[in-house]
Chains A and B, each alone.
Chain A
Amino acid sequence: MISLTINNQTVEMTPDATVLEAAKKLRIYIPTLCHHEALEPYGGCRLCVVEVEKDGRSRLTASCTLPVEEGLSVLTDSPRVVKARKMTLELLLARCPQVPALQRLAAQMGVTESKYAPGDSDCILCGLCVRICQQLQNVGAIGMVGRGAKREVLTPFGEFSEVCRTCGACAFVCPTGHIADVGQISGKTPLPKLSEFNVGLTARGNIYRLYPQAVPNTPAIDPSNCIQILTGDCGACAQACLSQAIEFDQKPEQMTVNVGSVVLAPGFKTVDARLLGTYGYGNYPNVVTNLEFERLLSPGGPTTGHVKRASDGREPAKIAWIQCAGSRSVSPGAKEYCSSYCCMAALKQALIAQEHVGPGLETTIFFMDMRTSRKEYEKYLERAKDQGVQLIRCRPHSIDEIRGSHDLRITYVTEAGEVQDEVFDLVVLSVAMETSGQTRQLAADLGVQLDEYDFIDSSCFTPVTTSQPGIYACGVALGPKDIPETVLDASAAATAATRLLAPARGTQVKKKFYPPERAVAQEEPRVGVFVCNCGINIGGFVDVPAIAENAREIPGVAYVQENLFTCSQDAQKQMAEKIQEHNLNRVVVAACSPATHQAIFQDMMRNAGLNKYLFEMANIRNQCSWVHQGEPDKATGKCKDLVRMAVAKATLLDPLEYLQVDINKRALVIGGGLAGMNAALSLADQGYEVHLVERLDRLGGNARRLLASWKGEIIQPYLDALVEEVNRHPRITVHYWSIVEEVAGTVGNYRSRLSTGQEIEHGIVVIAIGAEPLRPSGMYLYRRHPNVLLTLDFDRELARKSQRISDAKAVAFIQCVGSRIPERPYCSRICCKHSVENAVRLKETYPEMEVAIIYRDLRTDGKLEKLYKKARDLGVLFLSYTLDDPPQVDYEGDQILITVKDQVLQKPVRLSVDILTLATAVIPHRNAPLAELYKIPLNAEGFFNEAHAKIRPVDAATEGVFLAGLCHYPKFIHEAVAEGLAAASRANTILSQDYLELEATISRPVDEHCDGCAFCVDACPFQAITLLEYMKDGTVKKTVEVNEVLCKGCGSCMATCPKQGIYVAGFTLVQLGAQVEAALGLR
């Protein structure tokens, strides 16, 4: 090593280093223009001059080309240096007065004007472009030509270079912007690589992360465009990477894995909107797809959430959505089915756009049927209307662009039949989903059968099972779906795929063992502080050596170390060694966020024989170096404070006992319908004992009264087989005529008492108690005329081909009876399909019969659209009505007379039918008692609520309680079955464990302080605290007890308690107070 001093600070360098590098190591700033780490030193710009003293003589020389020398003394800011740099800069500035990089440097160095005559060049002849092309790219497409004042960067003979690869390296390194257009060198137009995540709206680098939250989040190199991979040249990134993580010779690997089953989840793509020619997508810049618009709304998108038009960057004042763009159509390029996600997506986009643009934004949705049939969607639709989203029932034929302004004119027909013209700033196409090429390929490779739309085919009774045994599928690969369905599909597929493999479960798990933990509670704190540079993420903006130096002075700190990457595997190993070597008993890592990295370091603690709760993090990256990039001194000061705060808390940390609770592996399933039986069977097949509770004397639930699935599969034989299987299963006990009356305990250990008096101990519960049809006495002559039936009664007659059906000349169905009304503001989801299906069946059996369906919006989502089309083809009459003008029903003898104002004809239509079927709402049973027993919420209409509408669709808010079937919301058979399977899958995540590991940072009562005032009992949002009384010294003492399973450590109790009678371990008032004092410089 060679030792030298710069500005009187000593630094040691390897012999091949330069003085510039040595200065950098000392964090001494020297301005450069022609320097680049990946290139040989050049010494061209002379801005990096320093004053060098050796043997009593001093001289000015460029630091970038000056090798280090033993005993060298360098000054970087002496008056001579400053004067020389200023003159150099004045000369450069005179040559290129307009270059921002030079103007910035001038301002920094106090150069206000140049005394030389100004030129008009923007090239400072630093030669970076020429050198990177020559040295790294091995191309030499450009060179320096001419001498003196005529010197310039040029291609040979000033013509387009034949060897230029248009790689753009020259433009990348150019400090002045002289080389802005690489096309002027190669004569070719460089095309940016478009960001896949931003659906092509932005360019992305060749080294990139797929998207900010991608897993894994490691950047990847696009090999199709990498100069080094394609030609062996360049490799600049490998030289720049501090971790030396770049390996160009990595190749895609082929791996063989032995598995018992396979789940396919290849997803979908959207139809190519360019094929929908009349909408002008691709030609009109202000016509975008809904996926593109989604990115425009995203704060992480190309416009950071500011909605802008592509043509002029202006914020739109009027936006239109066109629904069913490529769906529900037989046009070329379009799909016959409904894509099912887009109505809700358009409403959501309209409301969010209003938030982003402001209340003045006009939003219009052109739709055919508003299909908001899932839970809470109808209320969202009503909210959108209230907030001014205009809904127009029309599918416009085309969009016309107005020349010059690029505004868009849409011509449409109102429901009253008038032709209207409206001009919009932006039009969003709600484009159809379609199967992906990958789905087709997978299906072909695996021999999996596809349906007529090339989605993976499956039966309604086994909705995630493909035609190939052992292969399962989930998501849109099975057909158009919204998020909640894809998520519950995924759970269902997981349970289906593991059902037959249950004996092998856990056999390949490698159990991790930790060394015994050192008892440190009685020791004086010896804190180890590890300060991370995070490459340059921290070290590049704050002074890490100064932070480390400061940490050494904090009381209790026994060891301090800097790391390049503290989270790297070798750093972890080294930390464990240092803990042992220095006998550390607390650890502080000053790096990034505990949200992402605490678990890694806690694991390291356990490997080093320390309790994992003796660890604390100082978040000096996310909450300091990244957010104060322009204030290095202040940011460094804040980092020092953050470390001091973390150490203050760390010295007060106590080791905590890891909490575990045993799990009872028995399952309770309430409700013996389709969903309940599927859940019970799949749990029993997974090896668990199941108790199935049914309130009636037989299994089957509502499915007992149904005829066929939408695909025409007959339900009763399937149901009989299912019941048989349940009854025969050795691990299932069915309790008939029973309901649950009493419940005690929590997840892992419930005790439920049935109405029969039997008590069952179980670890989880699946609630699948179904729902019932509304019986609207008096409405539309129901129960006043014998020929007015409910859907399920009509089904029964249709199944046995009753006399009055075969005699009937005309039959009508009225939809939305009791649904989508102010008292019951939800869509019952299943009734449109049910009536259309029955209409088709009638028409097929009795072609002469007149069949009419009177509806509000026809909601045959997804592939069910096929039924609707078939019904129309068969001549079923569809008449639409509105909520404020419902059909009028009367009778004359056996005939039912219906008058309805049809919205298409805008005229009253009179029908005389033999049978009227009412598609009435699906209403919940009395769910409240069960909701109270298991402490789970109901929605306003009395259906059980899930923990999260999108990502936890079958979990109840209470842990260990799962929901399936109609008790959650009206749904189809295939959805109820999938939910039964999904609930079993979610339950399995608990039952498959031997014990639950609980977080130890939870509330602990302090008996001697507690007087039983019970303020905390009310404050606890998890009902985890109970009041106790016990005999102490001959008197009754009141105190509280915390349920360790229920407590989440939120500490509402601690803040409420007037006597410090309860605290959260790891967040005590003393520990938090110490952090406050440290922040204020008092510790």
Chain B
Amino acid sequence: MSEEYEPIIIAFLCNWCSYAGADLAGVSRIQYPTSGRIIRVMCSGMVHPNLVIDALTKGADGVLICG
């Protein structure tokens, strides 16, 4: 491959903990790769298995559920 591989990771983050954690990482200017695409959910328990499967079948390289 000539171009650098850049995965897309769909990240379902819980509004109360990990989404706030990602905000804090911002406030703390912690640098990390640009691969993640964060989707805010009100609880990681809300993430239906179909969402994960759909994401992967439609081309996501990874799915992260944090909560």
Contacts and interface: CB of A to CB of B under 8 A. Distances in A.
| Chains A and B belong together in one complex | yes
B47 A1076 contact: no
A1055 B49 contact: yes
A624 B55 CA distance: 21
Interface string B29-67: 111111011111111011111110011001110000000
The CB with the most chain A CB atoms within 10 A, among B6, B45, B54, B58, is that of B45
Contacts of B60: 1076, 1079-1080
The main secondary structure of chain B at its interface with chain A is mixed
Contact of A629 (B15, B29, B33, B58): B29
Interface in B1-36: 6, 8, 10, 12, 15, 19-20, 22-23, 25-34, 36
B47 to A, nearest CB: 6
B31 A622 contact: no
A1050 B43 contact: yes
A533 to B, nearest CB: 16
Given A595-B19, A627-B32, A1051-B46, A212 B27 contact: yes
B62 to A, nearest CB: 12
Contacts of B54: 1073, 1076
Contact of A1079 (B6, B37, B40, B41): B37
B45 A1050 contact: yes
Contact of A1080 (B29, B31, B32, B58): B58
A623 B59 contact: no
A299 B27 CA distance: 13
Interface string A1064-1083: 10010100110111011110
Contacts of B36: 623
Interface stretch (A631-639, A675-683, A917-925, A988-996): A631-639
Interface in A296-345: 299-300
Nearest to B19: A595
B37 A626 contact: no
The CB with the most chain A CB atoms within 10 A, among B29, B32, B41, B59, is that of B41
Given A595-B19, A641-B37, A1073-B51, A1054 B46 contact: yes
Nearest to A635: B34
A223 B2 CA distance: 57
A642 interface: yes
B23 to A, nearest CB: 4
A622 B22 contact: yes
B43 A627 contact: no
A1050 B26 contact: no
A1019 B37 CA distance: 28
Contacts of B30: 627
A1019 B45 CA distance: 9
Contact of B26 (A623, A1052, A1054, A1075): A623
Contacts of B12: 1072
Interface residues of A, number: 47
The CB with the most chain A CB atoms within 10 A, among B32, B33, B39, B50, is that of B39
A1052 B43 contact: yes
A619 interface: yes
A438 to B, nearest CB: 31
Contacts of B47: 1055, 1072
A819 interface: no
A1039 interface: no
A561 interface: no
B12 to A, nearest CB: 8
A778 to B, nearest CB: 50
Contact of A1049 (B25, B28, B42): B42
Nearest to A304: B28
A443 interface: no
A596 B31 CA distance: 21
Interface of A: 212, 299-300, 593-596, 619, 621-624, 626-631, 634-635, 637-638, 641-642, 645, 1001, 1019, 1021, 1048-1052, 1054-1055, 1064, 1067, 1069, 1072-1073, 1075-1077, 1079-1082
18 contacts: A596-B23, A619-B22, A619-B40, A622-B23, A622-B26, A626-B27, A627-B32, A1049-B42, A1049-B43, A1054-B48, A1055-B48, A1055-B49, A1067-B46, A1072-B39, A1072-B51, A1073-B54, A1079-B60, A1080-B59
